[in-house]
Structure 1
Amino acid sequence: MPFSLKGVAYITGAGSGIGQHAAYAMARQGVRSFALIDRNPVTHTVQHLKKMHPDIKTLEIEMDVADEAAVNDSIEQTVKEFGRLDYALNNAGIGGALKTTDQIDKEDFERVMSINTTGVWLCQRAQIRQMLKQEKWSDSYRAYRGSIVNTASMYGKVGPTLNVPATAYATSKHAVVGLTKADAIAMAPRGIKINAICPGYVLTPLVESTMDKGSVMDAERVKVPIQRFASMEEIGDVIAFLHSDASSYVVGSALVADGGFTIQ
């Protein structure tokens, strides 16, 4: 079915990459109110959104998702500015060091977990608490009080390859999948839809800069059955779908978008 999105979106990691392109995808489907959260300025994202649709309204917040007080305050600011919260994308994250368990320091491991897992949990907890206070966005049987999507990874479903020993990252993303499933079960009867997206390799500017012939990332690319990495726009479109009425019966999913990498 064709779908449109109407309401208020809250996106972490909105300054670049998947978060930025998820905002663009949601704007194409109709969202006109955005709370854009990032540790860095979201100026480029805001400029592009308003170029797409001059009537778009934005709330820009610089924040570390591992800061509990700041997370709670950001939700309060969003509701004060826009009246409610309909769509949340918990996307902020870091890759961490490419090290195996015997190599990584405790501090490095805990930093990855604090942002990629605890940060998602803090944001989701605040979002759930707000969504439970509000009514469904329509009378349709497909409607919810709110929709949450968490950015996991294909490495939240399988272990990382020998070429990419991202132990801390994979651990954190497996935890995001578990959090998504646990809260989806608890919140679905209460009118909140929660899912995760598990992207494969995405052609971000950072990845693109490493794609020299013979590089680790070039070697990983040839393992993808469709022989390419995802564009950021493709992943943004999947996120918009997960927030839409078209996915109204998709609950607790860890939707894999990896070009077939993990089916091998």
Structure 2
Amino acid sequence: MTVLLKGTAFVTGAASGIGRATALAFAKYGAQRLALADVNLDGLAQTASELQSQDPSLDIIYFHVDVTDEGSIEKAIAKVVARHDRIDFAVNCAGIGGPAGLSPTIAVADWKKLLDVNLTGVWTCQKHELAQMMKQDVVGPRQGRGCIVNVASMYGTIGTSLNTPAAAYAASKHGVMGLTKTDALHYAKDGIRINAICPGYVATPFVQGIIPDDRMQKEYEKTPMGRPAEPEEIADSIIYLASPMSSFMTGSGLVIDGGFTAH
């Protein structure tokens, strides 16, 4: 059997939800070196323990990383490179839901906090991942120097629904899409691919913690599949974007939303 992924994967937000599922998927599809980051060290330890129990041969390191702290990101990436020499796959998954509501109802402090994590945090991670990847040799025409996958949202391509207004969240995810598309165009010639995954509703503590059940059910009814995605379904799509199977894709936002109709 051909191993789909070879190299070192760096995943932020790996303590739970999509980030955790992505770490497990990297191991499932062949990556033997995993570097995991999150503000939740206990959650990271659980992710690492599960990975190790499934495959004791995995080389796993994990770090407390606050994506709003540039120094925290720099130190983590430096430790990954010191151990493995390079980063082949980077998935920027750390994010928060932030304040619900339309612009007049959102406090400036809440707006800034959400943008700090969801947009500036992704930008800061990508900034240092790109700097590292530019130092790396090209592995081959389909893997290049490395690739980056940013976790955006279907709400990075459309406005939030009338049932769940979230102006700040949508703005942050639209920003991730602009960042992804712009850097992707400029680094393609250097053998670095950058894409975004745009999930719809996913059965994670993140979603379940910010939207009441009654509203959530109304949102599922707008999805022809009639359900949220499982984190593993999003993780498999992230693996596709990270792998040589998508080697001619860059600057794309892959929407995985079950056919969601916004309004």
**TM-score in terms of structure 2 length:** 0.95
Distance 2:255 2:3 in 1: 21
Distance 2:229 2:203 in 1: 6
Range with greater deviation from structure 2 (201-210 or 118-127): 201-210
**Which residue of structure 2 lines up, in the alignment, with residue 98 of structure 1?**
100
Deviation at 1:144, TM superposition (A): 1.2
**Which residue of structure 1 lines up, in the alignment, with residue 74 of structure 2?**
72
Extract unaligned runs of 5+ from structure 2: none
The letter of the residue matching 1:133 is: K
Deviation at 1:143, TM superposition (A): 2.3
CA contact (8 A) 1:153 1:173 kept: yes
Distance 1:63 1:9 in 2: 16
Q: 1:5 to 1:168 in 2, by over 3 A?
A: same
Distance 1:131 1:179 in 2: 17
Distance 1:128 1:210 in 2: 32
Distance 2:116 2:259 in 1: 30
**Which residue of structure 2 lines up, in the alignment, with residue 194 of structure 1?**
194
**Which residue of structure 1 lines up, in the alignment, with residue 5 of structure 2?**
5
* CA deviation map 1:99-136 (0-9, x unaligned): 21000000000000010000000000100000000112
The letter of the residue matching 2:27 is: A
Identity %: 45
* CA deviation map 1:74-114 (0-9, x unaligned): 11111001111000000100000112100000000000001
**TM-score in terms of structure 1 length:** 0.94
**Which residue of structure 1 lines up, in the alignment, with residue 174 of structure 2?**
174
SS of match in other structure, 1:164: coil
**Which residue of structure 2 lines up, in the alignment, with residue 84 of structure 1?**
86
The letter of the residue matching 1:146 is: G
Q: CA RMSD in A?
A: 1.7
Distance 2:228 2:202 in 1: 5
* CA deviation map 1:193-227 (0-9, x unaligned): 00000000001145457898x70001100100111
The letter of the residue matching 1:87 is: F
**Which residue of structure 1 lines up, in the alignment, with residue 51 of structure 2?**
49
Distance 2:224 2:262 in 1: 9
> Match for 2:111 among 109, 112, 123?
109
**Which residue of structure 2 lines up, in the alignment, with residue 59 of structure 1?**
61
Which aligned segments of 4 or more residues in structure 1 are displaced greater than 6 angstroms? 209-212
Q: 1:206 to 1:187 in 2, by over 3 A?
A: closer
Extract unaligned runs of 5+ from structure 1: none
SS of match in other structure, 1:4: coil
1:238 and 2:237 aligned: yes
CA contact (8 A) 2:161 2:262 kept: no
Range with greater deviation from structure 2 (123-132 or 51-60): 51-60
Q: How many residues align?
A: 260
SS of match in other structure, 2:104: coil
CA contact (8 A) 1:32 1:55 kept: yes
